[in-house]
Amino acid sequence: MILNKVQNIIIKYLSSQASISELDALEVWLENSDNEKEFIKYVKVNYLIDMNLKEFKTKKSEEKLLQFISKDKKVFKLKKVKMFFKYAASIAILISASYYYTENNIQPTEKNISSKQITLKMDNGTIKVIDEKGSFTIQDTKGNIIGNQQGNELVYDTKKATDKLAYNTITVPYGKRFAVKLSDGTKVHLNAGTSFRYPVKFLKGKNRQVFIETGEAYFDVVKDAKHPFIVNNNNVNIRVLGTQFNVTSYPEDSNITTVLVEGSVRIYASKEKYDANKSTLLKPGFKADWNKYDNFISVEKADVETYTAWIDGKIILKHITFNNIIKKLERHYDIEIINNNKDLGKDFITATFDIETIAEVFKVINEIHPINYTITNNKITIN
């Protein structure tokens, strides 16, 4: 009988999601000959029956198995990887099954993946769940490595040549943050509740265009005068050559807000052809609010730090009504806040939070504005 803990490690190994410590534990466990038999039996019974396959291509399976283990050697640096060849006949069944599923587009979807997980959707529709403490390589449809995960960041290959645009989409849930380094070297920080779509490789002679479908992102764009960088967010385009700026556009926001830290950007309607004379020029230290409903844009001086502190995990509040910070707290801490205190909603809050828990945050708020509240699991009710 294989313990549940070991079963989980086996599953994660075969799906390329096991950590280094988990692989070490699996190695030690497999050194026992009795465990070797249990391992083979477990793979045969669980995976062959669960996937309901009647046949598989042995040659193809063996080839994919060799590639699979080879990748593990590079990524996880296994000390005794040869021992896994003992299980080739059994694991080949699983590899073949996975290949069969991929070829027939039977992949994990948004419906069966937890909303609390960071996900990467490939150009072919395949969805990968990302463990912030893990690592994996990103491959195209031909099996070529085009990037890899380095902790809480995805880094794409800057040298890989291509003549066709292929897009990846990363989705970051509430309570998490992540980063992507694009093929041109541009780094994009993604805040909680963000969906970001981008080419795995920019094409020579074409604009570098990416898409913020929803959420918030901070861009540190590599300068390239021949290839303007354009951030699209349904209503607007933000055009730059090389600069640093923050873009916010959550569903509950009436404005798409762009805050410029360095350089310059031009903002214009996404449905219009770019014309420098008709676009709005933004200078460092200013923010532009584009109203989603009337397409009106307003520009004013900004307290840049309050808009970019989230990159370092901070929340800086300066004279903001409690009603306007509720969603910010919900996204940052992945909680639900129900405010039944109308007076509190109108009160202004000034505070800075860094490593505090949500309980500590409300303790501070309670000291400033005495309130009656309860915290139950991930739900806070203010009476």
**Between these two residues, 299 and 105, which has the higher pLDDT value?**
299
Q: Which of 246, 271, 305 is the last residue in one of the domains?
A: 305
If asked whether residues 374 and 256 sit together in one domain, one would say: no
What are the C-alpha distances in Å from 239 to residues 179, 218, 259, 276?
A: 21, 14, 13, 10
Confidence tier at 104 by pLDDT (50, 70, 90): very low
Provide the pLDDT for residue 53. 36
Provide the pLDDT for residue 78. 43
**Between these two residues, 55 and 345, which has the higher pLDDT value?**
345
If asked whether residues 87 and 117 sit together in one domain, one would say: no
Tokens standing for residue 165? 């645009």
Confidence tier at 93 by pLDDT (50, 70, 90): very low
Q: Which of 55, 72, 103 is the last residue in one of the domains?
A: 103
Confidence tier at 268 by pLDDT (50, 70, 90): very high
If asked whether residues 275 and 143 sit together in one domain, one would say: yes
* 362, pLDDT greater than 50: yes
**Between these two residues, 6 and 225, which has the higher pLDDT value?**
225
Provide the pLDDT for residue 5. 72
Contact 253, 274 (CB under 8 A): no
Tokens standing for residue 92? 């080949």
Percent of the residues in the chain that have a pLDDT greater than 70, as a whole number:
75
* 61, pLDDT greater than 80: no
Provide the pLDDT for residue 352. 93
SS3 26: helix
> Across residues 31-51, what is the average pLDDT?
61
What are the C-alpha distances in Å from 176 to residues 116, 119, 248, 330?
A: 9, 12, 16, 11
Q: Which of 88, 103, 118 is the last residue in one of the domains?
A: 103
What radius of gyration, in Å, describes the C-alpha atoms of the chain?
25
> Across residues 86-108, what is the average pLDDT?
45
What are the C-alpha distances in Å from 252 to residues 50, 233, 263, 292?
A: 42, 14, 29, 11
Domain count, the chain: 3
Provide the pLDDT for residue 15. 56
If asked whether residues 124 and 97 sit together in one domain, one would say: no
Q: Which residues contact 34 (CB under 8 A, 6 or more apart)?
A: none
If asked whether residues 318 and 287 sit together in one domain, one would say: no
Most confident of 59-73, 152-166, 253-267: 253-267
If asked whether residues 11 and 155 sit together in one domain, one would say: no
* 330, pLDDT greater than 60: yes
Confidence tier at 141 by pLDDT (50, 70, 90): confident
SS3 47: helix
Contact 250, 223 (CB under 8 A): no
* 158, pLDDT greater than 80: no
> Across residues 55-73, what is the average pLDDT?
47
| Alpha helices in the chain, H assignment, sequence order | 4-14, 20-30, 33-42, 49-51, 58-76, 88-103, 304-308, 322-333, 342-346, 358-368
> In the predicted model, what is the mean pLDDT of the chain?
81
* 95, pLDDT greater than 80: no
If asked whether residues 124 and 201 sit together in one domain, one would say: yes
If asked whether residues 93 and 115 sit together in one domain, one would say: no
Provide the pLDDT for residue 297. 95
> Across residues 322-350, what is the average pLDDT?
93
Nearest by Cα to 32 from 99, 89, 86, 106: 86
Distance separating the N- and C-terminal Cα atoms of the chain: 52
Nearest by Cα to 341 from 323, 359, 360, 319: 323
Most confident of 25-29, 156-160, 257-261: 257-261
Q: Which of 2-6, 88-92, 342-346 has the lowest mean pLDDT?
A: 88-92
> Across residues 298-321, what is the average pLDDT?
95
If asked whether residues 298 and 331 sit together in one domain, one would say: no
Provide the pLDDT for residue 101. 40
Cα separation, 144 vs 277, in Å, equals: 43
* 219, pLDDT greater than 90: yes
If asked whether residues 228 and 357 sit together in one domain, one would say: no
Q: Which of 109-113, 187-191, 322-326, 378-382 has the lowest mean pLDDT?
A: 109-113
Q: Read off the CATH number of the domain in which 225 is found.
A: 2.60.120.1440
Confidence tier at 91 by pLDDT (50, 70, 90): low
* 68, pLDDT greater than 80: no
SS3 374: strand
Pick left, alpha or beta for residue 244 (phi over 0 → left; psi -120 to 50 → alpha; otherwise beta). beta
Tokens standing for residue 295? 């397409």
Cα separation, 357 vs 139, in Å, equals: 38
Confidence tier at 177 by pLDDT (50, 70, 90): very high
If asked whether residues 138 and 195 sit together in one domain, one would say: yes
Cβ atoms within 10 Å of 302's Cβ, excluding its own: 22
* 210, pLDDT greater than 70: yes
- CB crowding 25-54: b at 16 or more within 10 Å, else e: ebeebbeeeebeebbeebbeeebbeebeee
If asked whether residues 291 and 227 sit together in one domain, one would say: yes
DSSP letter at 120 equals E
Confidence tier at 145 by pLDDT (50, 70, 90): confident
Please return the burial class of 313, using the count of CB atoms within 10 Å of its CB with bins 0-12, 13-18 and 19+.
exposed
Q: Residue 374's domain spans which residues?
A: 314-382
* 57, pLDDT greater than 60: no
Confidence tier at 199 by pLDDT (50, 70, 90): very high
* 85, pLDDT greater than 50: no
